[in-house]
Each structure stands twice: as C-alpha cells, then as structure tokens.
Amino acid sequence: MNLVFDPAWLPRLGQGVLLSVQLTAYCMGIGAVLGAVLGLVRVYGGGRWSPLYWAASAYVHFFRGTPLLVQLLGIYLGLPTVGILIGPFLAGLLAMTLNTAAYQAEYFRGAIQSVKSGQMMAARALGMSRGQAIGHVIMPQALRLIIPPWSNELIYMLKYSSIVSMTALRPETMDLFGVARSIASRNFRYFEVYILVALFYLAMVLILTVALRWVERRVRIPGLGTPGRGI
C-alpha cells in the first residue's frame, strides 16, 4: 500500500476552504437574525394559538425534522420547476440558512427562557416597555447564554457545508469537499485525497473551537451562565 500525496492539490483545496468558510459564515449570520426573530416569536409571540406563534413553530419543526439534503434538493431541483431559477451556490446557501435558522431559533428560545423571570419584571417595574426590556435586559443576557450551543451549531454547519456540492459539481459550488471530489475523480487517489480533506476539516474545527472559547471567556460576566462546555 503506497500512498501518494501531491502538493499541487493544496492551492485548489485552499480555494475550497474559502468557499466553505464563506457559505458557513453567511448562513450562520443570516440564520442568527432569523433564528433570533423566530425564537422571540416563540417566546413572546402571544399564546399557543396566536397565528404568529403557530407559524414560527411549524417552521422550526419542519426544518428540524427533515434532512438538510431533502431541503437542499427540494430547493435546487424543485424551485426551478415552479419557475424560480436558482443556482447551486444560492440554493446551497438558502438551504443551509433556512435549516440553521430553525436550530438557532431553538437555542434562542432556550436562552431567552433561561433568563430569570424576575429580570423582565424588574425592567417593567422601572417603566420600560416590553420591547425595551427585551432589548436592554433579556437579549444581552440571552446572547451570552447562547454562545456554547451556537458554537456547536457553527461547527455543525461548517461540516454540513460539505453537502452543497452534492447538487452539481460546478466551479461555483466547489467547496472544500467539492474540490476533493473533483481531484479524486481524476487521479483515483480517493483515500489520500479524502483523508487530507478530513484533516482540513479537523483543523478548521479546532481553530473555531479555540476562537469561540476565547470569545466566550471575553464576554463572560460573573453569575451569568456556566463556564463553556467542551465541543
């Protein structure tokens, strides 16, 4: 068994890393905004029977309960059949964003609900409106509590970005794994290429883990939340 690694692979894999990071960053950013809104609606959007609560819950259940791959292919292959043309990169980004928004909504909900109820009461007693209380008192605390689950989600999405190239192997969807597939399909060095790519992902996960722990420590406030959990 002799293994062959070719340094010529590296620049292309580097390009792939860039696209994977981009996809992950965009979907996590937009997903955080959507997730925060959905989470707020699930907590403050009226009772169990308000249409807003119901819609947000249906959304969260649907996107958490179905495979990302089904969502991706539904969007990439399904939308054009109803006249909505969408390229593979955008389809991948859209699927990942809609998916992570549902998961992040649950993290936001959990974080908001774990802020003690007295905090809202004290804010209202000072004369703050509900919106002010959420903005100045509840969310600043929830945002700190959400860092550990959010870090996990970020790493999940980085790994899941590897499925966007399953739509079509086109240059614009050449994420890290897509590049690996295209290299391996030409030289048949599957094992070497995929092991190398696995190490690339591991390195990215390691860097993110360390960076997020650092952020968590930077914004930590005594008495709020627990020390970071391992990822």
Partner 1 sequence: MNLSAWTEIAPHIPVLLRGILVNIELLLGLISLGLGVGVVTALVEVYGPRPLGWAAGAYTWFFRGVPEIVLLFLFYFGLSQFGVPVSAFFAAVLALGLRSSAYQAQIFRGALQSIPHGQMMAARALGLGRVKAIAYVILPQALRLSLAGWSNEFSSVLKDTTLAWGIGVVEVMRQASYIRARNFTLTLPIYITVALMFLVLTYVGNVAIGLAERRLRVPGLEGRR
Partner 2 sequence: MALLRVENLHKRYGHEEVLKGVTLTQEAGETKVVIGPSGTGKSTLLRCINRLTEPDQGQVWLEDLEITSRRSDINQIRAKIGFVFQDFNLFTHLTALDNVRLGLTKVRRMPRAAATDRAMAELDRVGLAAKAGAYPAQLSGGQQQRVSIARALAMDPKLILFDEPTSALDPELIGEVLSVMIQLARDGMTMIVVTHEMGFARSVADEIVFMEGGVVVEQGPPEQMFRSPQIPRTGEFLRKISELYGESS
Binding residues for partner 2 (CB under 8 A): 115-116, 118-119, 121-129, 132, 136-137, 140-141, 144, 221-224
Interaction of residue 5 with partner 1, rule CB under 8 A? no
Min dist. Cβ of residue 186 to partner 1 (A): 13
E strand or H helix at 216: helix 190-218
Min dist. Cβ of residue 40 to partner 2 (A): 18
Instruction: List the one residue out of 66, 31, 72 whose CA is nearest residue 173.
Output: 72
Q: Map residues 129-158 to x or -, x wherever contact with partner 1 holds by CB under 8 A.
A: --------------------------x---
Interaction of residue 1 with partner 1, rule CB under 8 A? yes
Interaction of residue 202 with partner 1, rule CB under 8 A? yes
Q: Residue 89 or residue 160: which is nearer to partner 1 going by CB?
A: 160
Cα-Cα-Cα-Cα torsion 40, 46, 50, 55, nearest 10 degrees, comes to 0
Q: Which runs of consecutive H residues, i.e. helices, occur in 66-129?
A: 68-73, 79-81, 88-113, 117-125
Could you tell me how many residues make up the chain? 231
What does 137 interact with, of partner 2, partner 1, none (CB < 5 to 8 A by kind)? Answer: partner 2
Q: How far apart are CA 172 and CA 154, in angstroms?
A: 22
